[in-house]
Amino acid sequence: MFRYVKGHLRPYIKQCVLGPIFKLLEAVLELMMPILMAMLIDNGVDTGDTSYILKIGGLMALTALIGLLSALVCQYYASVASQGFGTSLRSSMYKKINSLSARTLDKFGAATLTNRLTNDINQLQQAVAMLIRLVIRAPFICIGSIVAAMIIDIKLSAITLIAVALFAVVLTVIIKLLGPLYIRIQKRLDNLSRVINENLSGVRVIRAFAKTGREKDKFKNANESWTSDAERAGRIAMLVNPATMLIINLSVTAIIWFGGIRVNVAGVTQGELIAFINYMTQVLNVLIVISNLVQLYTKAYASLNRVNEIMALPDSDKGTADAAPDFTAPAVEFEHVTFRYGDEENPELYDVSFKLNAGETLGIIGGTGAGKSTLINLIPALYTSYTGAVKVFGADAKEYDRTKLRDMIGIVPQQPQLFSGSVSENIAFGKEDIKSENITEAIACSSADFVYSKDGGLDSHVERGGRNYSGGQKQRLTIARAIVRRPRILILDDSMSALDYATELRIRRAIRKITKENNMSVIMVTQRISTVTHADKILVLDDGRVVGIGRHEELMENCEAYRDIATSQLSQQKGGEAV
């Protein structure tokens, strides 16, 4: 259970051992305080011996000072160890996430992974800090105080034990009751959050349908149900304080009554009675700390499980061998490929076979959901759980070192995703050695010259996910990002949908020029016939199956699905000459 985390704590063994020892020292010193006070009262106050009072008083001050210093040493060790542990664990978990296969990433989802990387690790980090600071100290003070109380008077200490037991029962009941309530409150809050989010993202539709009133009701319901659950939880949670106080105070009352009896028969002295009351209070104070610790460690335990689950995953995004490309072989070749993302019955791709020769252009066309994007995701081995074979330059895609394979491929994904940083960092993404003239050329090629009109030019800031750029701008920058790498295979996945025809045409011409000059192979995924009419080969996909393959003229002749798409787009132009 600690398999994946203990390594990160190992460098801090010294802190983990010495920290609690210092804390223990403080605890021991703290336990001495009531005893010293009892001596001060019994031997000093009751006899009026001023010098004795001062002597004991000085000793107590010294004890307190040493206690303070040891506590500080412990806190220092705790912060070094816990922060260092958290940092190291976070770094290695991020590394693990990077090595997961796309399939695993899909399965978990970005939100969960981010949450585990941040919140769960923070929880563990806090648990380590508390381990050093309190886990040793709290039980020690608790047991120590009980033992001290027993030494003073074994009979009176029965009251202490009863109080502790009572407290434990009350606390367990309250925590048990609260657990499910808190989960519900969190759900209510998530719901509230969702309603707000819908209102923000859907404001145009809401206003257009004049639905402000209905949304208001929805919000009101969400708000009310949160309030009523929060109040219900409050009614229980607020019991903790008065209940604890009541237990402490009633035991003190009991100690005074039974203590009176014990003093009367010379079982204890008056000073010892006061010390006893002090120990009693200390025990219960510590119990409150322990109850917080129990809650903290319940949470930390859940976090640990979530972290372990990720850390235990295999580094699946790794090639099975280190194949070498043969650049005279076909750039991409599919042999009877059938693929499913998960366990669903209908495959995303079914028995797909085709060949793209080096230096040629392949068009892939089909309706939404035909499997076009899925198909190209198999080329850089993002997904590998298919049957059949995908070959890149003569070798099985799975057998390449992944870095080497992906270095040969430049993809422009359908969803244009940029990352925070500068424009030039985004274009040179993942390649450190790119010259600035190459970036300039890539920008020209992708018609992304709008970057020059920005204040910072190439150094302009890109916000998280590229949200300060429009869809069309993002598409052009992602095209530049693929071109600048001069890949052997350039893949464009319907990546000009947000661009007008004039801009698209300009970019297509530039791409054609640069790919011819550099002997690149190109795959163009699209829904627009005009994009693929001049491809060397066109693959027509329908519902995951290849329903046609050939040149534009051949397909117009003998592929019904292709003709269908073509007529839908070309029928209205130029008297239908293409038909």
Site residues for another protein, 389-408, by CB under 8 A, read 402-403, 406-407
Interaction of residue 319 with another protein, rule CB under 8 A: no
Select the residue interacting with another protein from 45, 170, 311, 547 (CB under 8 A). Answer: 45
CA dist., res. 324 & res. 394, Å (int): 9
Whole-number minimum distance, CB 154 to another protein, in Å? 18
Stretch that binds another protein, among 140-148, 306-314, 390-398, 463-471 (CB under 8 A): 463-471
Residues in region 105-124 near another protein by CB under 8 A: 105, 110, 113-114, 117-118, 122
Interaction of residue 452 with another protein, rule CB under 8 A: no
Select the residue interacting with another protein from 40, 171, 332, 559 (CB under 8 A). Answer: 40
Residues in region 132-171 near another protein by CB under 8 A: 133
Stretch that binds another protein, among 138-146, 170-178, 321-329, 366-374 (CB under 8 A): 366-374
Select the residue interacting with another protein from 35, 174, 263, 311 (CB under 8 A). Answer: 263
Select the residue interacting with another protein from 318, 465, 519, 557 (CB under 8 A). Answer: 465
Interaction of residue 197 with another protein, rule CB under 8 A: yes
Q: Which is nearer to another protein, 114 or 292 (CB)?
A: 114
* DSSP secondary structure of 80-139: HHHHHHHHHHHHHHHHHHHTS-HHHHHHH-HHHHHHIIIIIHHHHHHHHHHIIIIITHHH
Whole-number minimum distance, CB 336 to another protein, in Å? 25
Residue ranges with strand state E in 344-464: 349-356, 361-365, 386-392, 395-396, 409-412, 421-422, 461-462
Residues in region 408-427 near another protein by CB under 8 A: 409, 411, 413, 417, 419-420
Interaction of residue 299 with another protein, rule CB under 8 A: no
Interaction of residue 53 with another protein, rule CB under 8 A: yes
Interaction of residue 44 with another protein, rule CB under 8 A: yes
- Distance between first and last Cα of the chain: 67
In terms of phi and psi (left: phi > 0; alpha: psi -120 to 50; beta: otherwise), the region of 314 is beta
Whole-number minimum distance, CB 68 to another protein, in Å? 4
List Cβ<8 Å contacts ≥24 apart for 498-501: 498/470, 498/471, 498/472, 498/474, 499/472, 499/475
Rounded to the nearest 5°, which phi and psi values hold at 64? -60, -40
Residue 361 three-state SS: strand
Q: Which is nearer to another protein, 336 or 404 (CB)?
A: 404
424 touches 439 (CB < 8 A): yes
Whole-number minimum distance, CB 355 to another protein, in Å? 23
- The Cβ of residue 496 has, within 10 Å, a number of other Cβ atoms equal to 24
CA dist., res. 283 & res. 272, Å (int): 16
Residues in region 493-512 near another protein by CB under 8 A: 497-505, 508-509, 512
Interaction of residue 11 with another protein, rule CB under 8 A: no
361 touches 522 (CB < 8 A): yes
Residues in region 167-196 near another protein by CB under 8 A: 189, 192-194, 196
Per-residue mark of binding to another protein, 71-90 (x: CB under 8 A): xx--xx-xxx-xxx-xx--x
Kindly list the distances between the CA atom of residue 91 and the CA atoms of 99, 121, 306, 387, in Å, as whole numbers in the listed order: 13, 11, 16, 35
Q: Which is nearer to another protein, 267 or 353 (CB)?
A: 267
Q: What is the dihedral of CA 416, 418, 423, 428, to 10 degrees?
A: -90
Site size for another protein (CB under 8 A): 168
Q: Which is nearer to another protein, 149 or 565 (CB)?
A: 565
Q: What is the dihedral of CA 373, 379, 384, 387, to 10 degrees?
A: 90
Residues in region 466-485 near another protein by CB under 8 A: 470, 472, 481, 485
Which residue in this structure is represented by tokens 């190439």?
A: 458
Whole-number minimum distance, CB 112 to another protein, in Å? 9
539 touches 332 (CB < 8 A): no
